[in-house]
Amino acid sequence: LRRVRQESAKRGAPGGRKDRSGVRGRAPGPEQATMPMSVMPRPDDPKLWPQREGLKAALQYPGIAGTIFDSLPEDCFTDPSYERIRAAIAESGGCAAGLSGVQWTGTVTHRIDDPAVASLVTELAVESMAVEESGIPRYIASVLARLQEVWVGAQIADIKSRLRRMAPGDDPDGYNAVFGDLVALESYRRSLLEQD
């Protein structure tokens, strides 16, 4: 019997030892006992404001945030906790999955293994937005545009840096292609700022 338990614990099989959450698997080892808790982002951090508001929109109003939120590049989220929540939303089928309310937040939370980040999902799901109910669709569109604009701004900075290192005479076609990308991104960024 002892050998069967040892083998099942190694494989994480149903006969394995339960952890604190009641899930059967391997017995906690020293690496699990010393795993640090995530550092939560400050709610009032102005650099992270678009990320926080975008996640609130996706969790509270997935039908409104919808495909725009789902199409945001992963790079839009720079804080590790926000990145994890965004990934859990994507793993849950995205805002377009058709879920809402407690069922939606429960599905997202279920995909997160860090209790502190799971708690942050709940916090974001109930935290009020800085707008009246009637203005929520416009507010969410503005928040998502701002989130995209921040990401596009970082892409523009990267391209400008690449252009400074390029010599137009060495590779004129390559230089012109990168310059064309810069012009297109700057135009897109202006359109996003107009939505704000």
Write down the mean pLDDT value for the chain. Answer: 84
Question: Which pLDDT score, from 0 to 100, does residue 113 have?
Answer: 94
CA distance 61 to 65: 6
Of the two residues 3 and 160, the one the predictor is more confident about is 160
Domain boundaries, the chain: 49-126, 135-195
Strand-pairing partners, residue 24, are: 18
Examine the pLDDT at 111 and tell me if it is beyond 80.
yes
> For the whole model, what pTM was predicted?
0.72
Q: Coil, helix or strand for 17?
A: strand
Q: What is the pLDDT of residue 62?
A: 97
Phi-psi region of 22 (alpha: psi -120 to 50; beta: other; left: phi over 0): left
Q: Which residue has the higher pLDDT, 9 or 98?
A: 98
The H or E element spanning position 188 is: helix 172-195
pLDDT given at position 24 = 43
Closest CA to 43 of 124, 131, 146, 126: 124
Whether residue 139 contacts residue 77, with contact meaning beta carbons closer than 8 Å, is answered with no
**Are the C-beta atoms of residues 130 and 49 closer than 8 Å to each other?**
no
Residue 195's pLDDT is: 74
Which whole-number Å values give the CA distances from 21 to 24, 97, 113, 116, in the listed order? 9, 27, 10, 14
User: CA-based diameter of the chain, in Å?
Assistant: 76
pLDDT mean over 188-193: 85
Asked if 120 and 81 count as a contact pair (C-beta separation under 8 A), the reply is yes
Least confident range from 74-83, 131-140, 174-183: namely 174-183
Question: Model confidence over 7-66: pLDDT tens digits?
Answer: 545 554 444 444 444 444 444 444 444 445 678 999 999 999 999 999 999 999 999 999
